[in-house]
Amino acid sequence: MVTASTLTDPYGVVASAVGTLAGPLHGGANEEVITMLEEIGTVENVESYLDRCLQQKSKIMGFGHRVYKVKDPRAIILQNLSEQLFEKFGKDEYYDVAVAMEKAVADRLGSKGIYPNVDFYSGLLYRKLGIPTDLFTPVFAIARTAGWLAHWKEQLGENRIFRPTQIYTGGRGQPYIPIEKRQSLADESLLELVSG
């Protein structure tokens, strides 16, 4: 809707939506969930993995939502569908780890309203359907395109451009440094970016 409000074309709107969906805090989380489950490996490792995450204050992928403070209703539907699929075609090797993770997170973070979101079980479901991990977001995007375009149309109905309100809090009166003299500074900040 932010992109649509500039009156760009629907391709631009969908490109923006794909860009945001791909982020690990949004739709990209289901890929991260698979990586996490692989890293945990077994049900016995769940508690120690969670301890580490909580100690490092890192986000647990596939949990939490800006709106849902209970188990995401879409996660319930997807978990049921995965179980139906597992009954027919065999259980995913990480399903028990996922269920143990859900229980452990509910025990430790339930009071904060952190429960599985739509991305927690969707990855396991996609895997069972034979979809490679790097195609999870594209498949998710295909399903969402109709909704994105509905939002585009809705935005144009009563359009006013979105304008983020930002207040510059950086330094003022910075002297101009010629580019040759900035090189080492640039290298240092690039290195920082690359090494995360």
Ligand X SMILES: CC(C)(COP(=O)(O)OP(=O)(O)OC[C@H]1O[C@@H](n2cnc3c(N)ncnc32)[C@H](O)[C@@H]1OP(=O)(O)O)[C@@H](O)C(=O)NCCC(=O)NCCS
Catalytic residue numbers read 65, 119
Contact 94/123 with Cβ under 8 angstroms? no
Q: How far is the CB of 45 from ligand X (least distance, A)?
A: 17
Q: How far is the CB of 180 from ligand X (least distance, A)?
A: 41
| Binding residues vs ligand X (CB under 6 A) | 25-26, 29, 59-66, 112, 114, 117-119
HSE-CB at 188 with a 13 A cutoff on CA atoms is 5
Q: DSSP letter for 161, please.
A: -
Pick between residue 13 and residue 33 the one whose CB is nearest to ligand X.
Answer: 33
Pick between residue 1 and residue 156 the one whose CB is nearest to ligand X.
Answer: 1
Backbone angles phi, psi at 116, to 5 degrees: -60, 140
Pick between residue 10 and residue 47 the one whose CB is nearest to ligand X.
Answer: 47
Q: How far is the CB of 159 from ligand X (least distance, A)?
A: 27
Pick between residue 60 and residue 78 the one whose CB is nearest to ligand X.
Answer: 60
Q: What residue is closest to ligand X based on CB?
A: 64
Name the one residue in this structure whose structure tokens are 């188990």: 71
Residue type, 115: Y
Residue type, 17: A
Quote the tokens at residue 112. 């904060």
Q: How far is the CB of 30 from ligand X (least distance, A)?
A: 8
First to last CA, the chain: 31
